[in-house]
Structure 1
Amino acid sequence: MTKAAILFEAGKPLQIEDIIVDNPGPHEVRIRTAACGLCHSDLHFIEGTYPHALPAIPGHEAAGIVEAVGSEVTTVKVGDAVVTCLSAFCGHCEFCVSGRMSLCLGGDTRRPAGAKPRITLTDGTPVNQMLNLSAFSEVLLVHEHACVAIDPEMPLDRAAIIGCAVTTGAGTIFNACKVTPGETVAVVGCGGVGLATINAAKIAGAGRIIAADPMPEKRELAMKLGATDVVDAFADDAAKQIVELSKGGVDHAIEAVGRPASAKLAVQSLRRGGTATILGMMPLNEQVGLGAMDLLSGKKLQGAIMGGNRFPVDIPRLVDFYLRGLLDLDTIVAETIRLDQVNEGYESMKKGDAARSVIVFNP
């Protein structure tokens, strides 16, 4: 039997239950989970803000060891250390072949309708796989294009957060924004994704990196990870402060929390010709836009799902950055917890004063 944290009803705590994980299909990989980060994106599903078929196992920011592979798998082998990523890609659609793998809908990476489910309860009830992964589980069963092998020297409790927070934040800097040395960057929201964005902006050589967050503890972490300046995001003049600090506005403003007010602050912080990038999961009925003068000033607004990543290439590079001392994951990981502490971990997240909690399996 395998233990997993299951969401049976939106708005209710996750329940630790036994599940049965099937054997790998031809292109599937079975992974013994080592660690999984608690991401705010899962909280949207847990609270019911975003709909999802239930019961389901959340969790999508994981690392582990391959324990079995399907007959057609060529990308990983038994014993490999791997990081999973929710932007599973088919490899042959228009998005994939044009280099925009993170936009792939990944239909071919799921089992077809009517096929045996990957995960069931012990009574045979199918369990829905959230975001192609369902990583709050001691064992994962995923398509081979939902994971990538990494350097075995990489600590897996640190590697886990690369699968979402760091891939999203760093990918936004390197891929979606293509920040060049000397450009100015503002990051609104200093959770796991925002802190990774700040750290990546430092690696990219950004000239000024301004972090905006209402929590003093988060602003302190931002400075440690490379921010040159910090601003209270709830201050009435937050946008004015950012514009003054950057001498006219920033080249790139990145929203990393999922609040309409944060998106507005990002847009207001831009210089002429600047780009605002929205990473956070906004409420589904919200819209974000540019005003007429913003458009006349050449400002741009974009989304960047998962940072526009190409994760089979990006994740090993980010691992290398960590091993070389460039990427500071130790500061982003606030605590490690057990699977049975997952609900407490999310309650801690709601307080908003710490970065990432990471579940460590069989510590």
Structure 2
Amino acid sequence: MPTASRAAIHTAGPDLTIAEVVVRDPGPGQVLVKLGASGVCGSDRHVLDGDWNLPSPTVMGHEGAGTVVATGEGVTDLDVGDHVVLSWFYPCLQCAACRAGRMWVCTGSGASAGLLPDGTTAFAQEDDPVYPYLAVGSMSEYTVVAQQAAVKIPDDVPFDVAALIGCSIATGFGAVANDAAVEPGRSALVIGAGGVGLSIIMSLALAGANPIIAADISDEALALASSFGATHTLTSGPDLAAEVAALTGTGVDYAFEAIGRRQTIEQMPECLMPGGTAVVVGLPPEDDPVSIDALLLAEEGKRLVGSNYGSTVPGRDFPLLAELYRAGKLPIDRLITDRVGLDEANAAFDAMRAGAQGRTVIVH
């Protein structure tokens, strides 16, 4: 029987409407999840602020964790009562990329269109479809997701921590471990000390990088960066490359951009030492193309790498991240600076726009 659920719905403009939706029963290969927590992420804000286009109406939220309350036909690896982290990009498991093990660049997923594998949506209002953002829609009391988008984790990992594993932590950790393959003792620069940037910094510290330079325009963000492992901090500006060179003598081995801003992405290659690697993690607006000096890359053997979800394989990486948290090696809980209810979602995004640091989590 379909489930009624309160949800944060985006139709147009920057404000969300808190209203009731109907959550469909899980179909074959799908699970119904009662949400415990949902992260308030910058990607959601991009949608609300008009930077990216989505089908309408959409239940927002893509960073979620909760409890399986029902399973559809054919689900064998999840049971009612399991605690799960939700992935915002379910792989189809059939395309060439999936068969090669590169699920993060799957070409057969309907997640970006807000569709489940069978082409349906998780939600409805008066029989009209309501789309879950990235086929998750975690700013809802309940949601239905593809079974491959729900990964079991230990019950003792708090839902607010688990929700962040599903996006910002996996993205930052994967950028360091999977995309850059950072080696101990190598130098690194992180531009942007927001949620993903802090995840990158703590992952660099775990990898043994040194020095770790954080750059941001906010003194509060830089103080947080230092607390998560940054050895040096710089105020971002047009002279960033010169300041990095003054600190290191040669530039850094690795640079990560975690904002999605054209100007800072364009700065990265100049911040690298010859042979260094720049990793684009932040997603810029669709209509703001980036200009890169290709001659600089070629002559100095520098690499520019795109990081999509940190090349994450959820079934492999989410349990690892949960174990690193449990072992005290990734202090994810310290990222959380505010916990709010669903009715406070608009206020949480307003605070983000005003420069609030750390992570806010909606607790259901």
TM-score by length of 1: 0.95
For 1:165, the equivalent position in structure 2 comes to: 168
Displacement after TM superposition at 1:76 (Å): 1.5
Is the counterpart of residue 210 in structure 1 residue 202 in structure 2? Answer: no
- CA deviations on 1:175-214 (whole Å, 9 max, x unpaired) are 0011111111110001100000000000011121100000
1:246 and 1:320 mapped to 2: Cα distance?
A: 34
Is the counterpart of residue 269 in structure 1 residue 271 in structure 2? Answer: yes
1:112 and 1:324 mapped to 2: Cα distance?
A: 35
Partner SS for 1:315: helix
2:236 and 2:228 mapped to 1: Cα distance?
A: 18
- CA deviations on 1:150-188 (whole Å, 9 max, x unpaired) are 011101111111110000000000100111111111100
1:195 and 1:275 mapped to 2: Cα distance?
A: 19
For 1:128, the equivalent position in structure 2 comes to: 131
2:262 and 2:41 mapped to 1: Cα distance?
A: 19
- CA deviations on 1:207-253 (whole Å, 9 max, x unpaired) are 2110000000000000000111110013x422211122222111110
Partner SS for 2:184: coil
Query: Which stretch shifts more, 91-100 or 319-328?
Result: 91-100
Residue 119 of structure 1, aligned match among 118, 123, 130: 123
Displacement after TM superposition at 1:266 (Å): 1.9
Alignment of 1:50-199 (within 5 A): 50-107=52-109, 110-111=115-116, 117-121=121-125, 123-199=126-202
2:123 and 2:67 mapped to 1: Cα distance?
A: 19
Query: Which stretch shifts more, 145-154 or 88-97?
Result: 88-97
How large is the Cα RMSD of the aligned pairs? 1.5
1:288 and 1:252 mapped to 2: Cα distance?
A: 19
Residue 315 of structure 1, aligned match among 313, 318, 321: 318
Preserved contact between residue 23 and residue 30 of structure 1 (Cα < 8 Å): yes
Preserved contact between residue 289 and residue 301 of structure 1 (Cα < 8 Å): no
TM-score by length of 2: 0.95
Aligned residues: 357
1:249 and 1:25 mapped to 2: Cα distance?
A: 53
1:333 and 1:232 mapped to 2: Cα distance?
A: 23
Preserved contact between residue 29 and residue 147 of structure 2 (Cα < 8 Å): yes
Preserved contact between residue 39 and residue 163 of structure 2 (Cα < 8 Å): yes
For 1:355, the equivalent position in structure 2 comes to: 358
Change (3 A) 1:244 1:61: same
Displacement after TM superposition at 1:73 (Å): 1.0
1:147 and 1:92 mapped to 2: Cα distance?
A: 18
User: What letter is aligned with 1:196?
Assistant: S
1:41 and 1:116 mapped to 2: Cα distance?
A: 23
Partner SS for 1:179: coil
Query: Which stretch shifts more, 185-194 or 294-303?
Result: 294-303
1:330 and 1:241 mapped to 2: Cα distance?
A: 32
1:311 and 1:246 mapped to 2: Cα distance?
A: 36
1:117 and 1:39 mapped to 2: Cα distance?
A: 22
Identity, % of aligned positions = 36
